[in-house]
Amino acid sequence: MPTRDAEAAIARLSKARVLVVGDAMLDRYIFGRVERLSPEAPVPVLTMASEHDEPGGAGNVVHNLCGLGAATAFVSVVGDDAAGAELTGLIGGQPGVEPWLLVQGSRITTVKTRYIAQGSRQGGQQLLRTDREDTRPIHAKLSERLLRIARDAMAATSVLILSDYRKGVLAGDIPAQLIKAAHAAGRRVVVDMRASDFARYAGADVLIPHRTDLNPGDDPPDGDEAIAEAAEALRRAHGFGAVFVKRGEEGMTLVDATGPTHFRLDPTRLIDLSGAGDAAVATLAACLAASIKLPTAALLANAAAGIVGAQPGTCVIRPDMLSAALAG
């Protein structure tokens, strides 16, 4: 793709208006030093030095959309707890966000805590991750309210992202109802999911699965041809407009009615792919919302994944980062 065309596409991202519905969570990072082993067990002792919290899950997709300059509406559910209140503040404090974080009493807000020892490797060494979560479906009355708010928000947005981390917000037939409402309003739907129950998202415009989920119950496809065949079979089986497969350090593969296109990453530049998928999803959806064609959107989305993957920990994608990556 000519650099001039890419720059023109990137410049249009600030015109994007995107709605995100999905599982919000709080990502917590605890940094410290390890200088000895515990006398109680053969485990390192982390002397805590600092702590950092940021939006995770669908909240990280929103974070990246904000970084790209897109106006974003976000509908999700948090618990009636300190983590939920903090997450609400973090989301609401970002520019260009209209947050609708509904509170469910007695529910636990998902918190992923990573303990990281700062060492010779840039960014430190992760020692342990602990998860605190409630993955049960949200209450039925809350589901009705979530659907109502999301339908209303579609009027001011042009693309809907369904970010399913399997934490209960997009349980049952909620995805089907949202896809139906979006299409009735003339909106496109991008689905990012971490499972293989693809039928629940039938009819979505773009499905973004991981390679390992393409053949449930069997070995995942390997290689360009096998991945393209599996993605095309999935596209036809459930009426997806396109399937955009995440392949880790190998990059991504787009399969639509015109056939497959493979986008590569340089594995020698990758450090940590945490958050790379969220950056790709946000970039793809922002491009589509800015009326950028799907092949160009996929190219920029793969570039965003590579940028984030080349950083230690998670980072937020920005237009200037995309421009630098394509120019280099």
In this predicted model, which residue has the larger pLDDT, 4 or 135? 135
- Residue 295 neighbours by CB distance under 10 Å: 15
How many angstroms separate the CA atoms of 233 and 231, rounded?
5
Report the distance separating Cα 313 and Cα 113, nearest Å: 13
Q: Is the pLDDT of residue 2 over 60?
A: no
Confidence check: pLDDT of 210 > 70: yes
pTM of the full structure: 0.94
Question: Taking the domains of the chain in order of start, what are their residue ranges?
Answer: 3-25+54-110+134-327
Catalytic residue, candidates 27, 164, 256, 278? 278
Distance CA 261, CA 282 (A): 20
Asked if the model's pLDDT at residue 282 lies above 50, the reply is: yes
- pLDDT surpassing 80 at residue 4: no
Cα–Cα distance for residue pair 83/78, rounded to 1 Å:
8
Give yes or no for a contact between 181 and 203, defined as CB atoms under 8 angstroms apart. no
Please determine, for residue 93, whether its predicted confidence score (pLDDT) is greater than 70. Answer: yes
Q: Is 278 an annotated catalytic residue?
A: yes
Answer for the pair 297, 322: CB distance below 8 angstroms, yes or no: no
The architecture CATH gives domain 3-25+54-110+134-327: 3-Layer(aba) Sandwich (3.40)
With 50 as the cut, is the pLDDT of residue 121 above it? no
For 156, the 3-state DSSP assignment is helix
Q: What is residue 173's predicted lDDT score, i.e. its pLDDT?
A: 96
The CA distance from 284 to 292, in Å, is 9
Q: Is the pLDDT of residue 120 over 60?
A: no
